[in-house]
């Protein structure tokens, strides 16, 4: 191993010289199609050994420039601060690697500008596919991609210009609401209308969940209080201040809540603890998303777990076959009983 002050990287030309052969032969051996190129196994072995001794690693930049396919697959993701996105990223990486693809992930912190910039950068790196996860403006990204001949998919939040894989938010929210109402009835004797908190009113998922929320109320003949639908955004502080404001103006808050994400739940739980509003009568809570600790927080907490594996199976199903006829694939979420199996 050459440990000079400035170790220049070993190239196939260096190896060729050491082996007394041509760069072309070295290339053929190292990328595995030396049989096809009729290189003798002796030479192949010699080159392989040399490459190992020298700690050779192909220069992907050079290799990709020459090849037709980059095998790079990009994903943009809003945050890493919850289990849902964490497991999306981890599963995505694993499944990509299983297919011999190289995953590149970028976190855009829910910043629309960063999303676009990240998409452009990914294109520069010649990604073959770009998965926009929870993007604020997925169609804009799709436009940029298709102008460059790159295919794209939307995950978690749908767009209209590329196939979208999302949770079945309506059914999930309807069932979750049904369960909260049952818990509420069991605890308080009667089913009272719930509070909805979290998410952006403008995004598709939140809208669908609100629709499911309304439908479930209608199913049991309970009417929803419009002032109790607080789509205040995703940040914990927003949920917190939103509850604070409502309590200030209305006095007493409902005894049951539909919380639209674990991130919002964080703010909700913090406010409950700090304000002392619910002392002696802890509210019945349901959350559209799952977190292992949140699941342990209260006995009555219901959590829907989005089926990350199912969603990514759908994503790679499309990628594997190169295209999709469907535009919107909705994956049913999973209900957890008590604390979840890992």
Partner DNA sequence: CAGCGATGCTCAATCGATGAAGCAAGAATT
Partner DNA sequence: AATTCTTGCTTCATCGATTGAGCATCGCTG
When asked if residue 150 is in the footprint of DNA (CB under 7 A), the reply is no
Burial class (CB in 10 A: 0-12, 13-18, 19+), 244: middle
Q: Does 58 bind DNA (CB under 7 A)?
A: yes
Q: Which among its own copies, DNA, none contacts residue 43 (Cβ within 5 to 8 A by kind)?
A: DNA
CB of 57 vs DNA, minimal distance in Å: 8
307, 333 Cβ separation under 8 angstroms: yes
Residue 276 CB burial class (10 angstroms; 0-12, 13-18, ≥19): exposed
Strands 151-155 and 164-167: parallel
23 lies in the site for DNA, by CB under 7 A: yes
In terms of CB distance, is 28 or 118 closer to DNA?
A: 28
**For residue 32, with 0-12 CB atoms within 10 Å meaning exposed, 13-18 middle and 19 or more buried, which class applies?**
exposed
Q: Which residue in this structure is represented by tokens 């309304």?
A: 214
Distances (CA, A) of 134 to 79, 88, 149, 315: 9, 11, 22, 14
Q: Closest separation between CB of residue 129 and its own copies, Å?
A: 15
Alpha carbons 92 and 87: distance in angstroms, whole number: 8
Task: Give the span between the Cα atoms of 210 and 155, in whole angstroms.
Answer: 20
- Report the distance separating Cα 79 and Cα 92, nearest Å: 15
Binder of residue 53, out of DNA, its own copies, none (CB less than 5 to 8 A by kind): none
When asked if residue 122 is in the footprint of DNA (CB under 7 A), the reply is no
Interface residue with DNA, options 2, 65, 125, 186 (CB under 7 A): 65
24 binding partner (options its own copies, DNA, none; Cβ < 5 to 8 Å by kind): DNA
5 binds DNA (CB under 7 A): no
Residues that bind its own copies (CB under 8 A): 1-3, 6-10, 55, 57-62, 64-65, 70, 79-81, 83, 85-87, 89-90, 93-94, 102-107, 109, 120-121, 123-126, 144, 146-149, 236-237, 262, 265-266, 269-270, 273-274, 291-294, 296-297, 339, 342
Pick the closer one to DNA by CB: 43 or 334. Answer: 43
> Binding partner of residue 121 among DNA, its own copies, none, CB under 5 to 8 Å per kind?
its own copies
Q: How far is the CB of 79 from its own copies (least distance, A)?
A: 7
273 near DNA, rule: CB under 7 A: no
Asked if residue 246 lies in contact with residue 196, where contact means CB atoms within 8 angstroms, the answer is no
DSSP H helices, the chain, are 12-19, 23-30, 41-53, 60-66, 83-98, 112-124, 138-147, 169-188, 204-219, 236-250, 262-275, 294-297, 308-321
For its own copies, the closer CB: 201 or 292: 292
Least distance from C-beta 342 to its own copies, angstroms?
Answer: 6
What six digits make up the tokens of 176? 């979750």
Min dist CB 53 to DNA, Å, is 15
Write out the two tokens for 72. Answer: 């790079």
* Per CB under 7 A, 42 contacts DNA: yes
User: Helix 41-53 vs helix 23-30: angle between axes, to the nearest 10 degrees?
Assistant: 90
Cβ distance to its own copies smaller for residue 31 or 40 = 31
Q: Is residue 176 part of the contact set for DNA (CB under 7 A)?
A: no
Q: Which of 18, 43, 182, 340 binds DNA (CB under 7 A)?
A: 43
The distance of closest approach from Cβ of residue 32 to DNA in the complex, given in angstroms and rounded to an integer, is 9
Q: How far apart are CA 185 and CA 170, in angstroms?
A: 22
Separation CA 128–CA 145 (nearest Å):
10
Near DNA by CB under 7 A: residue from 24, 160, 227, 327:
24
Q: Which residues bind DNA (CB under 7 A)?
A: 9, 11-13, 20-25, 27-28, 30-31, 33, 37-40, 42-43, 58-59, 62-63, 65-67
């Amino acid at each position: 191993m050459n440990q000079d002050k400035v170790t220049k990287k070993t190239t196939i030309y260096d190896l060729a010289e050491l082996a007394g052969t041509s760069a072309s032969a070295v290339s053929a051996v190292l990328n595995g199609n030396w049989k096809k190129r009729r290189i003798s196994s002796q030479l192949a072995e010699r080159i392989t050994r040399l490459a190992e001794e020298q700690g050779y690693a192909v220069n992907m930049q050079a290799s990709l420039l020459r090849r037709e396919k980059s095998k790079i697959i990009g994903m943009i993701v809003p945050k890493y601060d919850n289990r849902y996105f964490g497991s999306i990223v981890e599963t995505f990486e694993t499944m990509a690697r299983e297919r011999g693809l190289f995953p590149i992930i970028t976190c855009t912190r829910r910043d629309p500008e960063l999303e676009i910039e990240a998409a452009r950068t990914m294109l520069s790196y010649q990604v073959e596919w770009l998965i926009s996860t929870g993007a604020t403006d997925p169609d804009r990204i799709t436009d940029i991609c298709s102008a460059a001949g790159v295919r794209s998919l939307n995950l978690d939040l749908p767009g209209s210009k590329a196939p979208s894989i999302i949770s079945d938010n309506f059914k999930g929210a309807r069932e979750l609401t049904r369960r909260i109402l049952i818990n509420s009835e069991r605890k308080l004797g009667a089913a009272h209308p719930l509070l909805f908190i979290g998410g952006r009113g403008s995004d598709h998922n939140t809208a669908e969940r609100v629709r499911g929320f309304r439908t479930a109320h209608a199913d049991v003949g309970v009417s929803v209080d419009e002032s109790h639908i607080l789509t205040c955004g995703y940040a914990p502080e927003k949920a917190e201040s939103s509850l604070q404001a409502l309590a200030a103006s209305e006095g007493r808050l409902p005894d049951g809540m539909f919380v639209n994400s674990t991130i919002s739940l964080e703010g909700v739980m913090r406010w409950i603890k700090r304000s002392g509003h619910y002392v002696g009568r802890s509210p019945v809570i349901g959350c559209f998303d799952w977190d292992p600790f949140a699941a342990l927080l209260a006995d009555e907490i219901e959590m829907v777990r989005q089926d990350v594996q199912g969603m990514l199976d759908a994503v790679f199903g499309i990628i594997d076959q190169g295209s999709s006829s469907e535009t919107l694939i909705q994956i049913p979420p999973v209900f957890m009983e008590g604390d979840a199996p890992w």
